[in-house]
Structure 1
Amino acid sequence: MLNENAVKTLIDRGLEERSDLFLIDLKIGVGNKISVVIDGDNGVTVEDCMFMSRAIEHNLDREEDDFSLDVASAGATSPLVNKRQYKKNIGRTLNVKAKSDAKFEGVLTEVDDDEVTLEWKAKEPKPVGKGKIVVNKQAKIKYDDILEAKVIIKF
């Protein structure tokens, strides 16, 4: 059985060479099936996946441990799991579920080390009289409070 730490070390070496890429997930399953999911500050190309695949495959000995390797990019509908993913999605609409069961849908406008800021428009009753007015809303959500966040793809 392959050692996950050894594979992670190979991935880290590759990421040192390509600082625009980062690891989202690593799994080693039955039969030494290695599954790696990466993302990048500017997206991920097929060449990026090939680079990471080579960084791993060329440094493992098939004579010692036979394995299969799959390197993929994080899908467009996959939840955001890394702070760097939020930064690259500034200006896009997110759907965020908070641990408090609150749900937010808005444009990601700011990202820092502790939290994200979403902004959206909502209709609310007028302070005086009948009818509704459109107001700008904002929510600052700490990373620790985010249960799930997904980019909303609009066509």
Structure 2
Amino acid sequence: MIEKKTVCQIVEEWLEGKDYFLVEVTVSPEDRIVVEIDHAEGVWIEDCVELSRYIESKLNREEEDYELEVGSAGIGQPFKVVQQYYNHIGREVEVLTKDGRKLNGVLKEADEAKFVVGVEKKVKEEGAKRPKLMEVDETFGYDDIKYTKYLISFK
């Protein structure tokens, strides 16, 4: 069986000096290898082909047969690495918390431990008769959520 660690090392070699980053590598027991990469401005098919050929040049089909799929992290799919949060700052996201709350808002900032989303909420200000719709910053730790994903808007 081809080891995930081996594939990750090959991909990291290819990524060196490029603006792409690795999102995920999976290797099934049947040696089906799936590699997901991403880039702040999107992934080009030519680069997926180049990476696929690079991986194939480093693995020996004579020793072990495998199936290889190289692609981009899917649009509308949950984020898997912190770099995806950085790339989507300023964009609208959907967050599902572990306690079941689903929030939509603008991703304002992110770091290695947490991220902040500006969410519109009705807030009753002191002395006001009615609550007013205001943007409130919600901070989440990555362990506090089930997923975050980019919301595609056709406005």
| Range moving further from structure 2, 80-89 or 96-105 | 96-105
Secondary structure of the structure 1 residue equivalent to 2:59: coil
Report the CA distance between 1:44 and its aligned residue. Answer: 1.0
Using structure 1 for the length normalisation, give the TM-score.
0.87
Aligned to 2:142: 143
Count, aligned residues: 154
Paired AA for residue 6 in structure 2: A
| Matched-pair contact (CA < 8 Å) for 2:43–2:72 | yes
Report the CA distance between 1:145 and its aligned residue. Answer: 1.8
Residue-by-residue CA offset, 1:56-97 (whole Å, 9 max, x unaligned): 111111211122211011111110111000010011111112
Structure 1 residues 128 and 58: alpha-carbon distance in aligned structure 2, compared to 1, 3 A threshold: same
Secondary structure of the structure 2 residue equivalent to 1:61: coil
Secondary structure of the structure 1 residue equivalent to 2:74: coil
Secondary structure of the structure 1 residue equivalent to 2:149: strand
> Unmatched 5+ residue regions in structure 1?
none
Q: 1:5-154 residue pairs with structure 2 within 5 A?
A: 5-18=5-18, 20-125=19-124, 127-128=126-127, 130-154=129-153
Report the CA distance between 1:51 and its aligned residue. Answer: 2.3
Structure 1 residues 15 and 129: alpha-carbon distance in aligned structure 2, compared to 1, 3 A threshold: closer
Paired AA for residue 135 in structure 1: M
RMSD (CA atoms) = 2.0
Report the CA distance between 1:35 and its aligned residue. Answer: 1.2
Using structure 2 for the length normalisation, give the TM-score.
0.87
Paired AA for residue 16 in structure 1: E
Residue-by-residue CA offset, 1:75-132 (whole Å, 9 max, x unaligned): 1111011100001001111111222433322101112222111113223446446444
> Unmatched 5+ residue regions in structure 2?
none
Report the CA distance between 1:50 and its aligned residue. Answer: 1.5
Q: List structure 1 runs of 4+ shifted beyond 6 angstroms.
A: none
Secondary structure of the structure 1 residue equivalent to 2:77: coil
